[in-house]
């Protein structure tokens, strides 16, 4: 029963690998047979059984022939899966147990029971395949919400285009922390690129002018200009396949336990069945037929079909359900973890706030005019992906200021950026990034005053000193307050982690209703805070958007990334992606996790009780095979249907 969820699953194998798919670029629908074959076969075997049963009184041989056909049609898929486990993994699974039991029943004349067993078994298999296909589809639909884009650089203009529109020879700009949109050659800039998605090696590789880079790999701290050498058609689908594969291989701990248990249990059942066939005739002088009958009933009712089907259909249904709400879970395990979350830590910029700060104050120094200073700041920030950088560039644009492009940009993650412009080295970022000696009393006072107003202050400096002060005000997301109130109502502690200054952070936290505030954190400090929270409270979920949040997302029990505003680094690391940046949906995600846990628990208790009950009945009272078949397979179907409730 379980085999449709094994990692060696045929759905995954039958699909082209991400690379092949990216190359062919077309989204192929599964052929009809693959989509409906299993259900059709199950139904056909059901019809055959009905036909056989109705002609049984008139012609026994014909009835047997029809039953045989029902066996073959209904049992084909499951037998194949069972044999695969047997030969490839040298192990027994429930598939083979069921096939044995059905053949055993037929061999002592119980054709109908054997055939019904096969029929219901194949039906439950089809149900499981349906859940799986459904979750594939829902996830695929979800991924369409986030089109993949590239920044095209042409005649000094930056335009954002869909990656399908890229042509060979185009120059694309890859900002720090973004995914490289197409295969190509670096023409300018230097960075370290994480190529784990193609090589599996996550240690970043240094790239500079002339080096080759690959679509789908993750840019590090530098900005790169890349000349496209190959049009990358839809890598989106490749990504979906990978995500879903991840979702399947990353089974929840409970599922992994049950699978291990299944293998051992299946072997023991075969052993006990053999003993039951061989011993009683000698020890208890039972007749061969009686013994064999009882042994077959045992084989049927003791098989852990229902137990094995307790978890994955429920998990996949929950993943589907989430997908339709804009919650992309990268696996069932995360649902389980989220259900037990004690603390949620939010990043500030881009997560609690809209991430679209407005420039409110400009103070120019060193004799620069305001326009000149803004031109310099926007030029330096033009290659950065940080929300503050975008705001500064936007303001310059609005004022009709022409900007230049810096060379050798390095993002000092969590601090700011450093770049060379017109042969001069510039730094722009938080006040603490600047040298102490540059911070004159006037500047200190200005920074202090602006921060108390809840504004984020950014300073720019060259080697001569501070050249300007820029203050930006970010607004809290409209749903932030409600989202936090809802989480607190669930008894979950809420914290804020930010790289921003203490005063600014405090002002924003007060507005959002958060009491636990950790400010002035570097990316590695965020990681340490998350570790501390884990130690103090238990399961921690971290919500973030930036490159600087990625390490903390990875450290948290559940990492949650903002889908639309989030950087690729955050999306990559997270366990759950909020496709529409809806932080309000986090509470719903937790509820979904809790419902899933509850349903899985119900299923497991129910499955074990039914098995125990039927085994006892068989030995104490004697159980009719038809009853055993219906009880056992019925419980399996019930458990799956209970899991499917999570679709709603
Ligand atoms: P948060 O944790 O709130 O998302 P970050 O860690 O991204 O904030 O940034 C922390 C601080 O570093 C910002 O408040 C800002 O002062 C500074 N900073 C980071 N990147 C930049 C940049 N590109 N330009 C200017 N300042 C920056
Ligand atoms: Mg952020």
pLDDT tens digits for 181-225?
888 899 988 898 887 766 667 678 899 899 998 887 888 888 899
Fold of 327-354+476-579: Rossmann fold (3.40.50)
Percent of the chain clearing pLDDT 90 (strictly above): 33
pLDDT tens digits for 584-613?
999 999 999 999 999 999 999 999 999 999
CB of 385 within 6 A of ligand 1: the answer is no
List the shell of residues around ion ligand 2, using CB closer than 5 Å: 347, 349-350, 545-546
Torsion from C-alpha of 88, 92, 96, 100, nearest 10 degrees = 130
- Our answer to whether residue 361 is catalytic in this structure is no
CATH code reported for the domain at 146-242: 2.70.150.10
Q: Characterize the bridge pairing of strands 224-230 and 171-174.
A: antiparallel
pLDDT tens digits for 386-405?
889 989 999 999 999 988 88
Q: Is the pLDDT of residue 559 over 50?
A: yes
Q: Is the pLDDT of residue 285 over 70?
A: yes
CB of 498 within 6 A of ligand 1: the answer is yes
- Cα(542) to centroid(ligand 2), Å: 12
- Give the pLDDT confidence score for residue 428 in this predicted structure: 95
Q: Is the pLDDT of residue 286 over 80?
A: no
Identify the residue with better confidence: 231 or 205.
205
Residue linked to tokens 């649902």: 335
Q: Residue 476 in contact with residue 350, Cβ under 8 Å? A: no
Q: Is the pLDDT of residue 466 over 50?
A: yes
- Give the pLDDT confidence score for residue 53 in this predicted structure: 87
What is the C-alpha to C-alpha distance for residues 474 and 274, in angstroms, rounded to an integer?
A: 72
- Give the pLDDT confidence score for residue 157 in this predicted structure: 82
- Give the pLDDT confidence score for residue 20 in this predicted structure: 34
- Cα(349) to centroid(ligand 2), Å: 4
- Cα(368) to centroid(ligand 1), Å: 24
Instruction: Work out the pLDDT band at 249, boundaries 50, 70, 90.
Output: low
Between the alpha carbon of residue 399 and those of residues 370, 405, 644, the distances in Å are 11, 18, 56
CB of 352 within 6 A of ligand 1: the answer is no
Q: Is the pLDDT of residue 112 over 50?
A: yes
Q: Helix, strand or coil for residue 81?
A: helix
- Give the pLDDT confidence score for residue 572 in this predicted structure: 79
What is the C-alpha to C-alpha distance for residues 582 and 77, in angstroms, rounded to an integer?
A: 42
Q: 93, 138, 170, 347: which one is catalytic? A: 347
Mean pLDDT over residues 609-629, rounded?
87
228: Cβ–Cβ under 8 A, 6 or more apart, which residues?
Answer: 166, 167, 168, 169, 170, 171, 172, 182, 183, 184
CB of 349 within 6 A of ligand 1: the answer is yes
Q: Is the pLDDT of residue 240 over 50?
A: no
- The average confidence (pLDDT) of the chain is 84
pTM: 0.76
What is the C-alpha to C-alpha distance for residues 49 and 47, in angstroms, rounded to an integer?
A: 5
CB of 499 within 6 A of ligand 1: the answer is yes
Q: Is the pLDDT of residue 462 over 50?
A: yes
DSSP 8-state symbol, 182: S
Q: Is the pLDDT of residue 250 over 70?
A: no
> Which residue's alpha carbon is nearest to atom 26 within ligand 1?
429
Tell me the domain boundaries of the chain. 3-141+251-319+593-647, 146-242, 327-354+476-579, 358-473
Ligand 1 atom nearest 431 alpha carbon: 16
Q: Residue 274 in contact with residue 31, Cβ under 8 Å? A: no
- Which ligand number lies closest to the CA of residue 434? 1
pLDDT tens digits for 19-75?
333 333 333 445 566 667 888 898 999 999 999 888 888 888 898 999 999 999 999
Identify the residue with better confidence: 396 or 260.
396
- Which ligand number lies closest to the CA of residue 529? 1
Ligand 1 atom nearest 547 alpha carbon: 7
> Which residue's alpha carbon is nearest to atom 14 within ligand 1?
500
Mean pLDDT over residues 423-443, rounded?
91
From the CB of residue 361, how many other CB atoms can be counted at a distance below 10 Å?
Answer: 15
CATH code reported for the domain at 358-473: 3.40.1110.10
pLDDT tens digits for 332-343?
888 989 999 999
CB of 179 within 6 A of ligand 1: the answer is no
- Which ligand number lies closest to the CA of residue 521? 1
- Highest mean pLDDT: which of 23-32, 256-265, 555-564? 555-564
Tokens coding 158? 């930056």
């Amino acid at each position: 029963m379980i085999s449709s969820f094994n990692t060696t699953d045929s759905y995954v194998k039958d699909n082209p690998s991400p690379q092949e798919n990216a190359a062919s670029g077309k989204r192929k629908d599964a052929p009809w047979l693959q989509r409906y074959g299993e259900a059709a076969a199950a139904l056909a075997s059901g019809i055959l059984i009905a036909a056989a049963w109705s002609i049984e009184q008139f012609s026994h041989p014909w009835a047997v022939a029809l039953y045989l056909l029902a066996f073959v049609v209904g049992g084909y898929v499951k037998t194949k899966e069972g044999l695969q486990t047997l030969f490839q993994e040298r192990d027994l699974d429930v598939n083979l147990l069921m096939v044995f039991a059905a053949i055993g029943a037929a061999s002592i004349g119980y054709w109908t029971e054997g055939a019904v067993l096969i029929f219901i078994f194949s039906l439950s298999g089809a149900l499981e395949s349906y859940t799986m296909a459904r979750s594939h589809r829902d996830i695929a639909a979800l991924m369409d919400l986030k089109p993949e884009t590239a920044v095209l650089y042409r005649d000094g203009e930056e335009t954002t285009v869909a990656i399908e529109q890229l042509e060979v020879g185009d120059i694309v700009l890859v900002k720090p922390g973004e995914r490289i949109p197409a295969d190509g050659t670096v023409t300018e800039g230097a960075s370290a690129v994480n190529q784990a998605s193609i090589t599996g090696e996550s240690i970043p590789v240094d790239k500079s002018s002339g080096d080759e880079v690959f679509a789908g790999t993750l840019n590090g701290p530098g900005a790169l200009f890349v000349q496209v050498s190959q049009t990358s058609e839809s890598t989106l689908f490749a990504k979906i396949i990978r995500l879903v594969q991840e979702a399947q291989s990353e089974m929840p701990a409970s599922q992994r336990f049950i699978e291990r248990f299944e293998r051992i249990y299946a072997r023991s059942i075969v052993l006990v069945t053999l003993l039951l066939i061989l011993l009683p005739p000698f020890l208890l002088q039972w007749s061969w037929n009686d013994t064999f009958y009882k042994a077959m009933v045992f084989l049927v009712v003791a098989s852990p079909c229902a137990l094995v089907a307790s978890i994955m259909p429920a998990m996949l249904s929950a993943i589907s359900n989430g997908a339709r709400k804009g919650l992309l879970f990268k696996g069932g395990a995360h649902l389980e973890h989220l259900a037990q979350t004690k603390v949620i830590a939010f990043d500030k910029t881009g997560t609690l706030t809209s991430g679209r700060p407005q420039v409110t104050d400009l103070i120019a120094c060193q004799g620069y005019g305001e326009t000149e200073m803004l031109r310099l700041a926007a030029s330096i920030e033009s290659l950065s992906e940080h929300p503050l950088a975008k705001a500064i560039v936007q303001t310059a644009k609005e004022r009709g200021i022409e900007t230049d492009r810096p060379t050798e940009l390095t993002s000092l993650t969590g601090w700011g950026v450093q770049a060379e412009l017109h042969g001069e080295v510039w730094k722009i970022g938080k006040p603490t990034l600047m040298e102490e000696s540059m911070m004159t009393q006037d500047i200190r006072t200005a920074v202090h005053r602006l921060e108390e107003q809840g504004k984020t202050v950014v300073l720019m400096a060259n080697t001569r000193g501070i050249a300007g002060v820029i203050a930006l005000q970010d607004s809290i997301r409209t749903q932030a307050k409600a989202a936090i109130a809802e989480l607190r109502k669930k008894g979950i502690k809420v914290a804020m982690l930010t790289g921003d200054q203490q005063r600014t952070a405090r002002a924003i936290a007060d507005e959002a209703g958060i009491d636990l505030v950790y400010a002035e954190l570097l990316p590695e400090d965020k990681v340490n805070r998350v570790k501390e929270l884990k130690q103090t409270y238990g399961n921690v979920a971290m919500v973030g958007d930036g490159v600087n949040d990625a390490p903390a997302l990875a450290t948290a029990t559940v990492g949650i990334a903002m889908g639309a505003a989030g950087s690729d680094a955050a999306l990559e690391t997270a366990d759950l992606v909020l496709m529409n940046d809806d932080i309000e949906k986090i509470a719903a995600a937790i509820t979904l996790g809790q419902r899933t846990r509850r349903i899985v628990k119900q299923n497991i208790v129910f499955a074990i009780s039914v098995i125990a009950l039927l085994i006892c009945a068989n030995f104490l009272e004697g159980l009719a095979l038809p009853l055993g078949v219906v009880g056992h397979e019925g419980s399996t179907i019930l458990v799956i249907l209970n899991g499917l409730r999570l679709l709603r």
